[in-house]
Amino acid sequence: MAGSSVGTIVKYGATTVTEVVSLTLPDITHEDVDLTELTDTAKNYRPGLIDPGTIPMTLRWDANATGAGTTIFGKLGGAVETWTIAFYDAGTLTFEGFVSEVGGEIPEGGGSITQTVTIQLTDSEPTYAVVA
């Protein structure tokens, strides 16, 4: 059965990030190191360093609330933390990362004010654990 986004919880340490509207899972990539020499008749590549990627999130801004959603601006440039995304029916994704970017949008016409947050994963790949 495909996982559902309903009930997904995002945490850093023991703090739950509230009002999460959406998030994108990281695109984990690695460099392609070009080892081609002049005598080669075809390109010659080897895998390079892994880039664990980023996780961009959109939060609904609530200036009257207390908790992670309103304090995440203060996390910019802060320490590396353990983050967990707990999927309602499909397991958990755990990774080390830090807040690398914050922003927001105030829409016209009375829509919800949103806050954008990007988490830069550090030197390790995320760990996925299946719920038993």
In a domain, 93, yes or no: yes
All residues at 6 or more sequence positions from 104 whose CB lies less than 8 Å from its CB, including other chains: 61, 113, 114, 115, 116
H helical segments located in the chain: 68-71
Model confidence, pTM: 0.79
Specify the CATH number for the domain of residue 92: 2.40.30.200
The number of folded domains in the chain is 1
In a domain, 2, yes or no: no
The mean pLDDT of the chain is: 84
In a domain, 3, yes or no: no
- Asked if 80 and 98 touch (Cβ cutoff 8 Å), the reply is yes
Position 1 confidence tier, pLDDT thresholds 50, 70, 90 = very low
Range of the domain at 43: 9-129
H helical segments located in 9-79: 68-71
> What confidence tens digit (pLDDT) does each residue in 2-50 have?
556 777 889 888 888 888 889 999 999 989 999 999 999 999 999 999 9
